[in-house]
Structure 1
Amino acid sequence: MNSRHLAVTGAALAGALLLAGCGSSGSTGTGGKPAGASGSAGSPGAAAAGKVDLTFWAWDPGMDKVVALWNAAHPDIHVTLSNPAGGDQLVSKMITAHQAKHGPDIAKVEYQSLPGLVANGVVRDITADTAKAVADFDDTTLEAVRFQGKVYGIPQDFAPLMLFYRADLFKKYGLAVPTTWDQYAQEATTLHQKDPSAYMTNFDAADPGWFTGLAQQAGADWWTTKGDSWHVDINGAPTKKVADYWQGLVDKGVVQKNPSFSPQWNKEMNSGTLATWISGAWAPAQIGGIAPSTSGKWAVAPLPAWTAGSNTTGIWGGSAVTVTTDSAHPVQAAEFVSWLNTDSTALTAQVKDINIYPAATSGRSLPVLSTPPAFFPNQPDYYTQVKNAAPGARSFSMWGPDVTVTFAAYSDRFGAALQHGTSFDAALDAIQNSTTTDMKKLGFGLY
């Protein structure tokens, strides 16, 4: 989704997204509701008598099984699942559908997309109807969905960055599981020296999610606010430390350059060309389709640290489930959203069928998590590893108003840097410039 698809512009958008960015972290806002945001789900006309039909947009394979559980137990509130798109494409479709007044009742959105949807009036304040559900989440998790004390979605999953590694290859080449980034670089060099056709991992210039998480781990905050003004620090010292580190590995030729999820990358993951994957806790749901011949060969460990003993990690992905302002039945929609993300039966089904790691605090102690994901049968403590990493996970204090511009610039600039052998630092400078230029055009004040 291009930022130009936003339905509100200039100063109005600046104020709305300033509020959206200023969540429970205590940042300064201008007060009042974000522009276009509706009242709570408890507003007049929200309830309806008789059977209610709700539409739900989400992209999770296996979500149909979870929705079927709801429908079987709630004959008066029927949910119809649809998968029109995922990620940014879904957000674009949501905005288009809202403009035509034909949006779904419920939609899953990635955390970084939520502020823009709040500002556009696409998603509803559901504070009044989710108070009981919200009590099952910690402040760190709620920060992504709670703006100016109002709740605009219920977190579905939590995805701290972890190190996924081929245990069989580490044993074959005598590699140690690295606990620091210095050690990771050493092991990468050792691996490539022992087998020039093998690489520790790939540097992905197509998907910014992993790099964003690494910047978070290093302490970066790409967007912050002061009063009504924004500060952008994409090319600040923490992120440049990450970029310089990976530039070193790329220049040494010990990591590949293929984008993740490409046919070539899938082939390399399946063949054992790549020994690790830096990914979110959702990775087991993907590896089976990416590298089907590697079942039982993977293990998970904490992300390497910049300082020995640190447990800080970043986050890649994670989503909330929202109620839209187009819904004629917001109370019932909020009931489903709360059930989906806090009910033990619903969460157990999502762990089994979707491989999520629950965002709900109670969900992280479900009995189903004592069994590892199907693709990791040799690591019974898989979910214990993720649970131990979760308290050290950090995101940005807020997401910016034009994330899609930033992410597009990442792909363009890092892609060019890989192709032409140019500086990663210069790529960050260009991403910074693209982001600030777009924000100025949209009417944001910068400091």
Structure 2
Amino acid sequence: MRLSRRVLLTAAPGLCLALIATGCGGGGAGGGSASSADRSAEIEAALEEGGKLTVWTWSTKFDDAVAAFEEEYPGVDVEIVNAGQSADQYTALQNAISSGENIPDVAMIEYFALPELALSEQLVSIDEWGLGGLEDRFTPSSWRQMTYGDATYGLPNNTGPLIMLYNTRVFEEAGVEEPPATWEEYAAAAEKIKKEMPDSRIASIDPGDAGGLDSLIWQGGGRPFQHEGESVTVDFTGEDTQKVNDYWSDLVSRDLVAAEPGWTDEWWRSLGDGSLATWTTGAWALGNISSTLTDNAGDFRVAPAPVWDADDPQNAENGGSGFSVVEGSDDTALAMGFLKWFSLNEASVDAQLDAGSFPAQSAPLEDPEWLSKEFEYFGGQQANKVLAEASGQVSEGWQYLPYQVYANSVFGDSVGSAISGGGSVQGGAEKWGEQLRSYGEDQGFDVR
């Protein structure tokens, strides 16, 4: 396998303007049809004939899966390219399509970005190639998030159902006997940790992470973003949305949680030394924490994320992505063949699981061997059982904006400043909403 790690440096903030210019203002779901034509013969012929494919991903978890594909199809040469992470890649993708040069065949797309890219006709609908019938092979939530309008634009790959990682040493020292099962219990645990360990807090809330707050609102029943065709609703005044925002405002105002950016060296040190006792995040994080905080082996355990109603646990997702065939691919049939094999072949899925990916595929979540795997880092815990249960409780109805990449880029201007300043998260969210409504109107959406 030939690996290329090119980095294309582009600016993210202007992405939505460029995307909208290529496709917005036309129809509902952009290019693509919900037809379920059977083009399997074309796909098989392309795989047999062989050729070259370029796959864009910033993750290093897929090298072995791609190698397994090339072993089965030696006539296909797959080049893996790192074109930048997240928004940087999407900007590079737009630039490539606009120029007609260096267009990848397949690209990793985060769920929050898919509506924007599908609307601007940058992705090919899998329904046109007969892959729409694979829905039951994936978790319901992940499949929904690869769909925009009446078409599906790729296959899910990984998901991030909310879970909570907690430091058993901190809990024991603070007298927190069990991981909090509800957000009410979580607040009580936060009070106890601050009282018994004045230099520690139960968690931090990242003032720059729109996805973190989105996940908490989703889990709490809020649905601030809705869209159908060119009609968009942005509303942070719903009862469940306000409930979540007011909860975190209260914790911030009482100094029970820290307002600290995530993923910095300081943040990792805080998790490692017990200054932060928990991390509520996506299921993908197990590999991140075990590979980063190597000296903390045995300290952490995995628990379900706290819920609002213990009798009716509803969950959400944080992060996750799929792979899509890009409009302008030199060989769409071959790209579709790779996409299907890479997403569902047992050798490919096993390689991805071994690399630490949390699956969007349904089969592993029901596999007794995978479920019973013991994680030495987490004290021998069979953590996959917690993750699978969390995945099964993800609630329906969440949508991202068809300009979510832009929305995330300006989150810190309103909500982030409220968090950092100890102000009202709800007030910040409403200011964010005003900005997003104004932006959507400027792009030609019918915004309410």
Asked if 1:73 is matched to 2:85, the reply is: no
Asked if 1:116 is matched to 2:116, the reply is: yes
Question: Which position in structure 1 is the counterpart of 2:18?
Answer: 6
Question: Which position in structure 1 is the counterpart of 2:93?
Answer: 94
Aligned length: 429
Aligned match of 1:296 in 295, 298, 301? 298
Secondary structure at the residue paired with 2:145?
A: coil
- Contact in 1 for aligned 2:222/2:241 (Cα 8 Å): yes
CA distance in 2, matches of 1:43, 1:362: 23
CA distance in 2, matches of 1:38, 1:395: 21
Aligned match of 1:312 in 307, 311, 314? 314
Question: Which position in structure 1 is the counterpart of 2:9?
Answer: none
TM superposition shift of 1:228? 5.0
Question: Which position in structure 1 is the counterpart of 2:357?
Answer: 356
Secondary structure at the residue paired with 2:117?
A: helix
Amino acid at match of 1:238: D
Amino acid at match of 1:325: E
Moved more, 126-135 or 34-43: 34-43
Question: Which position in structure 1 is the counterpart of 2:107?
Answer: 107
**Alignment map for 1:379-398 (pairs within 5 Å):** 379-380=381-382, 382-394=383-395, 396-398=397-399
Asked if 1:84 is matched to 2:87, the reply is: no
Secondary structure at the residue paired with 1:6?
A: helix
Secondary structure at the residue paired with 2:339?
A: helix
Aligned match of 1:272 in 268, 271, 274? 274
Question: Which position in structure 1 is the counterpart of 2:169?
Answer: 168
Report the TM-score, using the length of structure 1 for normalisation: 0.89
Q: Which runs of 5+ in 2 are unaligned?
A: 1-11
CA distance in 2, matches of 1:394, 1:332: 35
CA distance in 2, matches of 1:140, 1:4: 25
Report the TM-score, using the length of structure 2 for normalisation: 0.89
Amino acid at match of 2:251: L
TM superposition shift of 1:305? 1.3
**Alignment map for 1:36-435 (pairs within 5 Å):** 42=39, 48=46, 50-101=49-100, 102-127=102-127, 128-131=129-132, 133-175=134-176, 176-225=178-227, 228-353=230-355, 355-366=356-367, 367-373=369-375, 375-380=377-382, 382-394=383-395, 396-435=397-436
Q: Which runs of 5+ in 1 are unaligned?
A: 21-33
TM superposition shift of 1:142? 1.4
CA distance in 1, matches of 2:142, 2:416: 32
Secondary structure at the residue paired with 2:410?
A: helix
CA distance in 1, matches of 2:132, 2:376: 35
CA distance in 2, matches of 1:345, 1:369: 18
Percent identical across equivalent pairs? 25
Secondary structure at the residue paired with 1:156?
A: strand
- Contact in 1 for aligned 2:16/2:405 (Cα 8 Å): no
TM superposition shift of 1:54? 0.4
CA distance in 1, matches of 2:95, 2:147: 24
- Contact in 2 for aligned 1:342/1:363 (Cα 8 Å): no
TM superposition shift of 1:200? 0.3
Amino acid at match of 1:111: Y
CA distance in 1, matches of 2:239, 2:104: 42
Spell out, residue by residue over 1:156-198, the C-alpha distance to the aligned partner (whole angstroms, 9 max, x if none).
0121111111123222322021111111000111011001011
Question: Which position in structure 2 is the counterpart of 1:24?
Answer: none
